[in-house]
Structure 1
Amino acid sequence: MTVRGAALPVIVLTGAGALAAVFADFLHVAPNRLLSGPAASPHVWALAAVWLLAGALGTVRVPGRTFITAVLAWAGVVGLPLLAGMDARALLEGAATGTRIQLGTGFWVMWLAATLLLLDRLAAMSRPVRVLAWVGVPVALAGMAMAGTFDSLALLREYAAQHAPFAEALLTHVLLAAATLAIALPIGAPLGWWAWRTRRTDGALVGVLAFLQTVPSLALFALLIGPFAWLAGRWPALGALGFGGTGAAPAVFALVLYALLPVVRYTVAGLDATAADTREAARGLGMTRRQVLLRVQLPLGWPVLLAGLRIVAVQTVGLAAVAALIGAGGLGRFVFLGIGQGATDMVLLGTLTIIALALAVDLFFQSLLVLTERPA
């Protein structure tokens, strides 16, 4: 039996999971939503044993070790929330009304380690297996959520208390991101084509856009309040439409500024993906520049262009959280309100939803690439 270099991720991740099981808190029993409480880790040694077993199976020559380790990792991704929900329900029996069962550091470290381990093991498997595994995770978690398995956890109790404003914030966040993409693409793509066509990829345009990327998002949002308030005062019709120093207008404008640089750069990279000889051959066949662009360069550069759009979309979902500070709403409202109130569960509700939304956007664009790319 030997340990190979490819098993290093398994050793690191299972070791981190075992250490988290033993030394970190799985749950916290808090007296209310604002205060912390004592730790509760009822399955310390059982969880540590599972992690060590996964590590052993993933590092020695055992038939089907990759598949077995992947199964254990998938069970961890799904089973840890199930275990936390069951423990929370047991801990709440006979407890005071305001008691909250919060997820501890040990849970998050182990869940992240299980997710990364699953990602590592699935990389060596076929696409149908990967798709089945990743689709199975949200399906299983959604099924348990609908069955009420997680209702005793503080995070779900916070969601139940904030259901209506949470739904409104989620819709606003999605609309902010969608509006940003809808504006940035028609502006950035032609600018990228112009930069590629004139070979000014290191000129003033890209320099200005790169400079904007260095401005902290909070500072940029704050700097836009004055100009937009002046515009609303100068033209009252804009103010009547909701165009003012705070709200969605300056937020979307700032998000568009941040989105333009990656749109321009990936447009240039996508157009450059077609070799000069290929473009010349197309021109030799009698194609116009427009036909070369639409029939040759865009199809061949589609993977690069879509990768750029994917990065812009994920970046926008994350940056939109800061827009809550200037009254634009969105999921960032829960993050900043939770920080102000010292309510960890509210912070997690906003943060985890933003992460899940970003992952969903990323998965959407990856799926779109798989469905639209041409076979080699």
Structure 2
Amino acid sequence: MAGILAAGPLLAGLHGLPLLNLAANRLLPGDPVYAWAFANPSIGLVSALSLAGLGALVLPPRRIGGVLASGLVLAAWAVLLLGLNAQAAHLLATQPPAARASLGSGFWIASVCLLALAGTGIGHAQRRGLGPLLVIGGLGFLIVAGQRGALDHLSLAVEYAGRQAALQDAIAEHLLLSGGAVVLAILSAITLSLWRSGQGIVGLFVSGVQVIPAVALFGGLVALVSGLLRAMPTLRDLGLSALGPWPALVGIAAYLLLPLWRGIGTALRSADPASIDAAEALGLTKLQILGQVRLPLGAPVLVGALRVAVVQSLGLATLGALIGAGGLGRIVFDGMAQFAPDLILLGAIPIVVLSLAAEWLLSAVEARCRVRWRA
């Protein structure tokens, strides 16, 4: 059903919306370029492949049709990108060196619709590993096309070529910042969970943090650390600074406390009383019951809480750039300051990819834990 609903917006995006924007330089919005102005037949081929994929979804048997549809949709997306690059090269040949051809709204809407068609095909195929295989195929196409210069005339590729080293450093900083915040939040959540008599206060604290805007919390932490450094200047010798990764690390970890704290509490209560009574009857100590009964039975809940925290940390780490913490947010905010949409996308796309990868990986672990728990 989702594939059928996506067919209309897909064709409208390809033939009714601008697929490219041609501008005199990277800062201007540019003039729209529609499919009917293209000098190559790639858009017609994309439409044909997409409709063929949609038709394959209704072919018996459904599983073979789903695999065929997914392959056709991936091919359509690859043809779309190659066709847009070819048209960009054709347009830029008569433009000054600073001119840019950026991807238009039609491309992004068509990509979302193709993603919906691919998802429908994967659902019909019911074959394990088909989704990751398509993702690997898409990434492989981008890598090979990028290395061979098949995307070099698109503005996003130009931005990447000029900031490749900076982007790699930003990704590493982003992962370190979000990963460090998750570790700090886990240790803090475990510590708070051990305070049995103060769980009401803990609940008020971790819930109260959620209503504070992230920018306000980061600003408050900067002011707090500044005051602490003025009162104790020797802390500067330890590498503590009012700006940088440390305030961002604490601020992100504070937002992660609620899902982790709740997950730990729910996991410890997930074991039914009969299982606890049986463990006590066997002579297990409280520590053994925790390690052999409560935690294994609560593993799906713990992994689910970790999944929420990791995805949340990857998003919040973007705002760390506002206080000098680096990461991909630095590229995003540089693009905003320069009014350069493709530079914003250069920083935003890896954040989305990292979040989706973390969601998929931890969801798979969570599902595996639930299957093992039922067994």
Partner of 1:143: 144
What amino acid sits opposite 1:30 in the alignment?
A
**Deviation per residue, 1:80-123 (Å, 9 max, x gap):** 33333333333333432111110111111111221232223313
1:261 maps onto 2:267 in alignment: no
Distance 1:51 1:270, change over 3 A: same
What does residue 117 of structure 1 align with? 117
* Aligned with residue 299 of structure 1, among 296, 299, 310: 296
Superposed CA offset, 1:119-172 (max 9, x none): 233134121333323332222322222222222211121122223332332222
Residue 208 of structure 1 deviates from its aligned partner by 1.7
- The alpha-carbon distance between structure 1 residues 99 and 364, as it changes in their structure 2 partners (threshold 3 A), is same
Residue 3 of structure 2: aligned partner: 10
Specify the SS of the correspondent of 1:39: strand
Report what 2:66 is aligned to: 66
Segment drifting more, 145-154 vs 123-132: 123-132
**1:152 pairs with 2:145:** no
Q: CA deviation at 1:374?
A: 6.1
Letter in 2 for 1:243: L
Matching of residue 19 in structure 1 with residue 16 in structure 2: no
Q: Report the Cα offset of residue 47 of structure 1.
A: 3.7
Matches within 5 A, 1:339-358: 339-358=336-355
Query: Could you tell me which residue of structure 2 aligns to residue 5 of structure 1?
Result: none
For residues 38-67 of structure 1, the C-alpha deviation after alignment (integer angstroms, 9 at most, x for no partner) is 222335554444444444443576764333
User: Post-superposition shift, 1:316?
Assistant: 0.5
**Matched length:** 365
* Partner of residue 333, structure 2: 336
How many angstroms apart in 1 are the aligned matches of 2:285 and 2:77? 53
Q: State how far apart, in whole Å, the 2-side matches of 1:214 and 1:242 are.
A: 31
2: CA distance between counterparts of 1:274 and 1:139?
Answer: 44
- Residue 68 of structure 1, CA deviation: 2.9
Cα pair distance change 1:36/1:265, threshold 3 Å: same
In the alignment, structure 1 segments of 5+ residues that lack a partner are: 1-7
Whole-angstrom distance in 2 between the partners of 1:153 and 1:132: 26
In structure 1, what is the equivalent of residue 176 of structure 2?
175
Please state whether the residue corresponding to 1:28 is helix, strand or coil.
Answer: strand
Tell me how far apart the structure 1 counterparts of residues 185 and 358 of structure 2 sit (CA, whole Å). Answer: 17
Post-superposition shift, 1:240?
A: 3.1
Are the structure 2 counterparts of residues 140 and 49 from structure 1 closer, same or farther at C-alpha, using a change threshold of 3 Å? closer
Q: Secondary structure at the match of 2:354?
A: helix
- 1: distance between equivalents of 2:80 and 2:194? 49
Q: Does 1:245 align with 2:245?
A: no
127-136 vs 206-215, greater mean Cα deviation: 127-136
User: For the residues of structure 1 that align with 2:146 and 2:364, how far apart are their CA atoms?
Assistant: 25
Comparing 320-329 with 274-283, which one deviates more in the overlay? 274-283
Deviation at 1:33, TM superposition (A): 0.6
Q: Equivalent of 2:201, from 201, 204, 217?
A: 204
Gaps of 5+ in 2: none
Superposed CA RMSD in Å reads 2.5
CA contact (8 A) 1:27 1:104 kept: yes
Deviation at 1:71, TM superposition (A): 2.3
Counterpart selection for 1:280 from 270, 277, 283: 277
Paired residues of 2:331 and 2:344 also in contact (CA < 8 A): yes
Q: Which residue of 2 aligns with 1:4?
A: none
Say if 1:192 and 1:265, in contact at 8 Å, map to a contact too. no
The one-letter amino acid of 1:19's match is A
Describe the superposition over 1:155-195 as per-residue Cα deviations: whole angstroms up to 9, x where unpaired.
12112222333233222211111210121111113434656
CA change 1:114–1:251 in 2 (3 A) is: same
Amino acid at match of 1:116: A
- CA deviations over 1:223-279 (Å, ceiling 9, x no partner): 212111011122223223342322111111100100111111111222233222222
Using structure 1 for the length normalisation, give the TM-score: 0.88
1:189 equivalent in alignment to 2:182: no
Percent identity between matched residues is 30
Q: Secondary structure at the match of 1:351?
A: helix
- Is 2:229 aligned against 1:232? yes
- Which whole-Å deviations, capped at 9, do the CAs of 1:335-369 have from their partners, x for residues lacking one? 11211211111111111121122223334434555
Q: Do the aligned residues in 2 keep the contact of 1:321 with 1:330 (CA within 8 Å)?
A: yes
* 1:327 pairs with 2:324: yes
